[in-house]
Amino acid sequence: MEKGQRASSLIGNQYTGSIFLALMSTFESDLEENANLDGAMLGMCGYGSGAKAKVFEGRVSPRWREVVAGWHLFERLAGRIAIDQTTYENLHKGVQEGSVVEPNAEFALVEIGDEGVDEGARRYRWIGA
């Protein structure tokens, strides 16, 4: 349980992403500690307001180490950039022009549709290193 909270303690609530961040945090912590999760069954539970919950299980693939080794979760979290209140508010209101940090070797939001069936549609593109 504690391993699953390591990353979220650095960034706070992720709402619907919390369960997946906890899973990533657990995997990366176990990789660093050379734990053997091959074939292990993991139980996961997410609860939200409105009495909604998801409970499911998964079996860990023997290839989990090679996948997790490419994440660098805690290294990426250590490289975060602090933003000021105005920037935070602009991001929250959707009026921030451009990225706070230039995307590098990641998917980045490049467009949000503003009319018809595209209204609100988010489009992402891979931005290479």
Residue pLDDT, tens place only, 25-41: 999 999 999 999 999 99
Task: Tell me what pLDDT residue 1 has.
Answer: 66
Q: How many whole angstroms separate alpha carbon 3 and alpha carbon 19?
A: 12
128 pLDDT above the threshold of 80: yes
Task: Tell me what pLDDT residue 94 has.
Answer: 85
- Domains, the chain, with CATH or none: 1-80 (3.40.47.10), 84-129 (no CATH)
9 pLDDT above the threshold of 70: no
Average pLDDT over residues 49-73: 90
- In sequence order, the 6+-apart residues with CB closer than 8 A to the CB of 46 are 16, 18, 19, 53, 54, 55
Average pLDDT over residues 41-52: 80
pTM of the model: 0.67
Half-sphere exposure of residue 37, counting CA atoms within 13 Å on the CB side?
23
Task: Tell me what pLDDT residue 13 has.
Answer: 66
Task: Tell me what pLDDT residue 12 has.
Answer: 64
**Of 35 and 101, the one with more pLDDT:** 35
3 pLDDT above the threshold of 90: no
Place of tokens 């960034």: 11
